[in-house]
Amino acid sequence: MSKTKVLTGITTTGTPHLGNYVGAIKPAIEQSWRDDIQSYYFLADYHALIKGRDPKRIHQSGLEIAATWLALGLDTDRVTFYRQSDVPEIMELNWIIGCMTAKGLMNRAHAYKAAVQANEEAGEKDPDKAVTMGLFCYPVLMAADILMFNAHKVPVGRDQVQHLEMARDIAGRMNHHYKTKFILPEAIVGENTAVLNGLDGRKMSKSYDNTIPLFCTEKKLLKLIRKIKTNSLEPGQPKDPDGCTLFQIFSAFANEAEIAEKRKQYEAGAGWGDLKNQLFEYVNAQLADARERYNTLIEDPAFIEAELKKGAEKARAEATPFIANIRKAVGISPFA
Ligand code: TRP
């Protein structure tokens, strides 16, 4: 049976939060147990340089994200779990496919367009002010990540769908011109996976600074849950669970019966204070074991490093012969 290859990366710029867990990491780990799927999960550390220039932060973020995957039970014998920068073949492919990528295609990338638009709105003379080549070429590097392992499916957030279309475009051009056999990858946007709201009710995201770190201390977790924005309805007044951030977070962790029960509590007029305490108890109980493993792992970077080295070896066992073929296809190979 040929397996479906599923690949995804997380940029190492922040500390994993509840939204990352529910929307990306948890479904990815569940999927990794399926026998018909071969998974590739990686730390996109070269991508991090596009967004951040604080070396300590990027280094620490990589450690935290790796520890998170491992603490949540990722089985590194089943999946290929690696750090992008440990697989230099990705960078070689990045250049090769970059030479097949139309600049006009990159002009249309929304991250770049958003930067240009912000400059125009600010009345800047240069629409490309503060735009680096890293930002501009970022969809090429992402395509290299994906095409390197011939992934069929790429779980991503909605904002990344355009990058998958670009990866398909690039793969198609390579195949057409050089007769390579790159798989055209497809985005999977989890229709059933929740997108969590953050403390202020907007989407939970490090760019809004409204996140709840996945493995913060119990005390901090309680404090942050108490900070979640609610309305001014008093205890005893019926409340609408739909659109309530507390209810939404609860629903991402609970089963159907528990969700129905919680809905009744809202309708019966439970107070915000009680609802918050209950949410804390519930989420905390589910995270407690993993948090303990996380804290142990963070204290043992050598163990994490060994796991990543093992992953890099596995990844390179595929990448090295693969890039040799690609180089040959484009005319770069030994003379004798
Ligand atoms: N760009 C992705 C994000 O910001 C992260 C990423 C980098 C990625 N390379 C990838 C995701 C390859 C999927 C496949 O979320």
Ligand 1 midpoint to CA 237 (Å): 44
- How do residues 110-130 score in pLDDT, each as one tens digit? 999 999 999 999 999 999 999
Is the per-residue pLDDT at 194 higher than 80?
Answer: no
pLDDT given at position 149: 98
Q: Which of 211, 229, 208, 231 is nearest to 220 (CA)?
A: 211
Q: Which atom of ligand 1 is nearest to the CA of 7?
A: 14
- How far is it, in rounded angstroms, from Cα 279 to Cα 272? 10
Interval 212-230: pLDDT, tens = 999 999 999 999 999 999 9
| Closest residue by CA, ligand 1 atom 13 | 8
- Mean pLDDT, the chain, whole residue set: 95
Could you tell me whether strands 186-188 and 153-155 are parallel, antiparallel, or unpaired per DSSP bridges?
parallel
Residue 291 neighbours by CB under 8 Å, 6+ apart: 71, 215
Query: What does the domain layout of the chain look like in residue ranges?
Result: 4-195+301-330, 218-296
Rounded Cα distance, 283 and 322, in Å: 44
CB atoms within 10 A of CB 21: 23
In the structure, what pLDDT confidence band is assigned to residue 192 with cuts at 50, 70 and 90?
Answer: low
Where does 157-206 show beta strands of DSSP type E?
186-188
Instruction: For residues 153 and 38, give the distance between their C-alpha atoms in angstroms, rounded to a whole number.
Output: 10
Q: Per-residue pLDDT averaged across 298-308, rounded?
A: 98
Q: Which atom of ligand 1 is nearest to the CA of 10?
A: 5
Q: Residues 232-250: pLDDT tens digits?
A: 999 999 999 998 999 999 9
What's the confidence (pLDDT) of residue 207?
84
**Would you place residue 195 in the very low, low, confident or very high pLDDT band (cuts 50, 70, 90)?**
confident
Give me the CATH code for the 218-296 domain, please: 1.10.240.10
Enter the pTM of the model.
0.93
Q: Does domain 4-195+301-330 have CATH number 3.40.50.620?
A: yes
Q: How far is the CA of 149 from the centre of ligand 1 (A)?
A: 14
- Counting atoms of ligand 1 from 1, which one is nearest the CA of 163? 1
Q: Which atom of ligand 1 is nearest to the CA of 84?
A: 9
d(CA 59, CA 68): 14
Residues with CB under 6 A from ligand 1: 7-9, 11, 44, 47, 142, 145-146, 154, 156, 160
Q: Is the pLDDT of residue 81 over 90?
A: yes
Whole-number Å distance, alpha carbon 35 to ligand 1 midpoint, is 24
Ligand 1 atom with the smallest distance to the CA of 155 is 13
Given a contact cutoff of 8 angstroms between Cβ atoms, the answer to whether 73 and 292 are in contact is: no
- Sign (positive or negative) of CA dihedral 7, 47, 217, 232: negative
Centroid of ligand 1 to alpha carbon of 304 (angstroms): 21
C-alpha 161 to ligand 1 mean position (Å): 10
Cα Dmax for the chain: 84
